[in-house]
Amino acid sequence: MKCPGQSMQFWKPEDVFEVHCLQCGEAIEFFKDDPSRICERCGRKNPNPRLDSGCMEHCGFADQCGKEQE
């Protein structure tokens, strides 16, 4: 069972967005929880300007997030 706080099922349309590469201007698709993405055109690592880690900052089970729960 995955954490409902990180499930894409509950994301809003604005949680997936495009940012232009800081070096070459190529459009890069980000998800709200991506810390950074590599530009496919020039290879530059671009930080996510709208990073949202959601419940990961305060959840006591954050270190287990994404693992299968029994």
Q: How many domains does the chain have?
A: 1
Residue 42 in domain? yes
How far, in Å, CA of 32 to CA of 51, rounded? 5
Residue 32 in domain? yes
Residue 63 in domain? no
* pTM strictly above 0.85: no
Contact 31, 15 (CB under 8 A): yes
How large is the average pLDDT for residues 22-47?
Answer: 95
Residue 3 in domain? no
Structure tokens at 44: 């530059």
How far, in Å, CA of 32 to CA of 14, rounded? 8
pLDDT in tens, 48-67: 998 876 666 666 666 666 54
**Band of the pLDDT at 9, cuts 50, 70, 90?**
confident
Residue 69 in domain? no
Domain range holding 43? 15-52
| H helices, E strands: number in the chain | 0, 4
**Pairing status of strand 36-38 against strand 45-47:** antiparallel
**Band of the pLDDT at 43, cuts 50, 70, 90?**
very high
pLDDT of residue 37 exceeding 90, the answer is yes
